[in-house]
């Protein structure tokens, strides 16, 4: 079989598996894929689906988005945006309203810098005074 052009996905997976101190069989079992199939992925002979990559990422406790980028499924900038959004949404120190306002500001900055932003509905305010007011009073300097 000829090696597929899947970047350095296989090498990266092997490195992550070894760092996690897992055998090929252990990772295959944890990810719910066959041992030979995982071996072929690591050797660059198979290109896994996004679903398989997600299962492997979960078993390795790493970002699925990182694997998507390495497999050519996701662009690096898209991964960075998804990870930024995930961090904001997962932050327990801010409430849901604050998360929403922060994501609106983030989208506004991305648009201002020429990048497409994430999903936006027509009724979301921009980052004008309305968004600043929604964020609450500023801390005194």
75: which 2 tokens?
A: 């662009």
19: which 2 tokens?
A: 């760092």
Task: Give per-10-residue mean pLDDT for the chain (141 aa).
Answer: 57 94 96 96 92 94 86 80 86 93 91 69 38 43 42
- The C-alpha atoms of residue 93 and residue 67 are separated, in whole angstroms, by 29
What pLDDT score does 85 carry? 86
Three-state SS at 84: helix
What pLDDT score does 19 carry? 93
Residues with Cβ within 8 Å of 112's Cβ and at least 6 positions away in sequence, in order, are: none
What pLDDT score does 117 carry? 55
What is this structure's pTM?
0.56
Q: What is the per-residue burial (b if ≥16 Cβ within 10 Å, else e) of 41-72?
A: bbebebbbeeebbbbbbebbebebbbbbbbbe
What pLDDT score does 28 carry? 97
């Amino acid at each position: 079989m000829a090696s597929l052009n899947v970047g350095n996905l296989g090498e990266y997976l092997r490195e992550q598996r070894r760092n996690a101190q897992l055998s090929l069989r252990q990772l295959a079992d944890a990810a719910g894929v066959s041992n030979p199939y995982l071996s072929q992925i690591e050797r660059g002979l198979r290109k896994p689906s996004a679903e398989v990559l997600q299962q492997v990422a979960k078993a390795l406790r790493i970002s699925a988005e990182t694997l998507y980028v390495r497999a050519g499924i996701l662009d690096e900038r898209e991964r960075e945006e998804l990870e930024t959004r995930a961090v904001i949404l997962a932050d327990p120190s801010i409430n849901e309203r604050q998360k929403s306002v922060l994501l609106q500001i983030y989208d506004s900055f991305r648009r201002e810098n020429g990048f497409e932003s994430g999903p936006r509905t027509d009724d979301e305010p921009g980052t004008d005074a309305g968004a600043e007011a929604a964020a609450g009073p500023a801390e005194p300097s």
